Amino acid sequence: MSFINPLFDIFWIFCPIGSKFMNAEQSAFMIDLYQGGCYFRLNCAHLAGTVKCMLCCISHGFFPSGAGELIFAKNISFRLPITYQLSPYSPSFDLHHSPMVLHADEEHLKKTFTGQVTRSLTGYVVFALIGSHHYPVTLSFNTGSDLTWVQCKPCGQCYPKYNPVYNHTISSTFMNTMCEGQYCKIEADRVMRSCTDDRRCLFGHAYGDNKNVMGSLVSDYFEFQEMAGTKKIFHSRLTFGCAHSTVGNFNKEEDGVLGLGRGPFSLISQLAISAFSHCLPPPESYKTSYISFGDAAQTQGPGAYLILNKRYPSRYYLKLHSIALLDHQKKITLDGIPSNTFAFDDDGFGGFYLDMGTPFINLPQVAYHELRKVLDSTLLAYNIRPIGSSDPSGSCFEASFDDVQHISLVFTISLHDLILTGTQVFYENFDSKGVICLGVMESKSKETILGSFAQTSRNIGYDLENMMITFQDMEC
């Protein structure tokens, strides 16, 4: 099956010339389609529907100035519980599957849980109900991509999972997205579209770790259980992917993904949410925490401005200047890392971004090897050594958390030092007592990624109105 990603005049959907909102004279306020991938028509900024279009323009680097204003929905405020998969609060938790071992990388340390369960590589999930029949789904939330999707019947090539596959046909509110619909034509990062003979819209979405999903683009009503126990029901359908084929290493405990990226398909864009925040508990705590949206979001604390990468406009990129090692508050610089290591190259590859869909820190090759050289030397001074031949990656050590509490990483982001402590840099191997492993991986590309475990134990706020991400240490 082949997919295409057509260019499309997005504002033709939201602000068509000749409508009561726009006349021919006003249509001069636009950016050429083939330069920006979308039109920005200044005098349509007051329409609620233009949020999606203007977000697209921003994602392509065209920022409104002066007369134009990006409008976000008002009075949106809700908080959803998030839990680490296989915690006692998770529906799929089974005490018979303990003890557990945390996977470090699909190509390294390929161990399994006691029993038949493989622990989630990302782990943090939210729970939702879809459609008129309130079908329950468990979704891993992902800030590195836009598309929300679930496995749907029929599912000929799908990963096995514990929950039944979603049967959309029993929902009276379910709708297929047609080829003429805006979401079948709007440009989106790594979401390809094509059409069936009966004009239904198909999608294909590829992830960076050799995983991909394909299926039908559909819409239905979503319902979430809030922290206070109340139900949050959205009074408009959300567009999402009904996956009939899923290829790659997905988790049996999860029914799909909740996309929270910057692009048009995400929950954030579809609801025109101005801010969200999350506070992730450490995996070993087995606590339930929360992700907050709209007015409930916490965006206090030091922050950094978001920057745009036109190649991957849906990602949350920040400017990373350098990384260093802290040993008992003594800063050790990593002099072997070239100054441009964390920047974009001319083709838009590289850069530094936050991604809940990636478990650990990923560093480009030169940065990873410099860090390992300095870190291994520092640990050796405390008689902490790699465990040897049983760990081909060399990422695990004979030590406990207490032995490495004095070790931290420092990410200097837009002149702000983000300090990652021992429990955000190392994780415990539950399968081998007295063994900890490094939660930093060598990237297969030029990208630098702050993964989910490095984001624990602090509130991270996404202030989309001011284009900032904030960091605030707290117990989650």
316 has pLDDT over 90: yes
Q: Quickly count: other Cβ atoms within 10 Å of residue 59's Cβ.
A: 27
DSSP summary character for residue 403? G
Angle (CA) 50 53 55, round 5°: 105
CATH class of the domain whose range is 77-294: mainly beta
Mean pLDDT of the chain: 76
Share above pLDDT 70 across residues of the chain, in percent, rounded to a whole number: 72
- What is the rounded radius of gyration, in angstroms, for the C-alpha atoms of the chain? 23
The pLDDT tens digits of the residues spanning 37-83 come to: 333 332 233 333 333 344 444 333 333 333 234 455 566 888 888 87
The pLDDT tens digits of the residues spanning 274-299 come to: 999 999 888 777 777 889 999 999 99
Domain boundaries, the chain: 10-59, 77-294, 303-473
The pLDDT tens digits of the residues spanning 399-441 come to: 998 999 999 999 999 878 999 998 899 988 766 778 899 999 9
Residues near 427 by beta carbon (within 8 Å), at least 6 away in sequence: 102, 104, 283, 436, 437, 439, 453
The pLDDT tens digits of the residues spanning 107-128 come to: 332 322 221 222 344 578 888 9
Q: How far apart are CA 430 and CA 283, in angstroms?
A: 12
The top-scoring range by mean pLDDT among 25-29, 99-103, 352-356 is 352-356
The pLDDT tens digits of the residues spanning 436-450 come to: 999 999 998 899 999
- ω into 16 cis (within 30 of 0): no
pLDDT at 191: 83
pLDDT at 119: 33
CATH class of the domain whose range is 303-473: mainly beta
- ω into 160 cis (within 30 of 0): no
Distance of CA 386 to the CA centre of its chain: 31
Whether 303-473 and 77-294 are alike in CATH topology: the answer is: yes
Q: How far apart are CA 20 and CA 296, in angstroms?
A: 35
Amino acid identity, residue 461?
G
